[in-house]
Amino acid sequence: QVQLVESGGGLVQAGGSLRLSCTASGNTFSVFSMGWYRQAPGKQREVVAFILSGGSTNYVDSVKGRFTISRDNAGNTVYLQMNSLKFEDTAVYYCNARSKYGLSFLNHWGQGTQVTVSS
């Protein structure tokens, strides 16, 4: 069982910056990856960025060079620094954690935080 608490969403002008935070608690010893998804109304949920326990990161092409994901390993907190925001970044952003129990994998989700970018 993993619980995720998110913060940092809000309203920002195009070209501005925003930082999202997500802190994991519970059985975090089993978590090997944390990251962010986003979903806009009428669109499918897509992965934005992930960071593995070893520190490697991955980004969806549309945010490369603009977003940076990082992790505080001691505090089980992941951050998403979003720069040069665009209108199309507007979505609900969900924190995600992946854990492994034996051969089974589980996904854990935060409540979601709204990011709105004005054009």
- pLDDT, tens digit, 9 for 90 and up, residues 44-81: 999 999 999 889 999 999 999 999 999 986 768 999 99
Tokens 């593995």, residue located: 52
Q: Assess whether pLDDT exceeds 80 at residue 25.
A: yes
Query: For residue 76, what pLDDT is reported?
Result: 86
Query: For residue 50, what pLDDT is reported?
Result: 96
Residues with Cβ within 8 Å of 80's Cβ and at least 6 positions away in sequence, in order, are: 8, 19, 20, 36, 48, 49, 67, 68, 69, 93
Query: For residue 75, what pLDDT is reported?
Result: 65
- pLDDT, tens digit, 9 for 90 and up, residues 74-113: 768 999 999 999 999 999 999 999 999 899 999 999 999 9
Q: Assess whether pLDDT exceeds 70 at residue 33.
A: yes
DSSP state letter for 13: E
Which amino acid type is present at position 44?
A: Q
What SS3 class is residue 39? strand
Query: For residue 23, what pLDDT is reported?
Result: 96
Query: For residue 53, what pLDDT is reported?
Result: 86
CA 1 – CA 25 distance, rounded (Å): 9
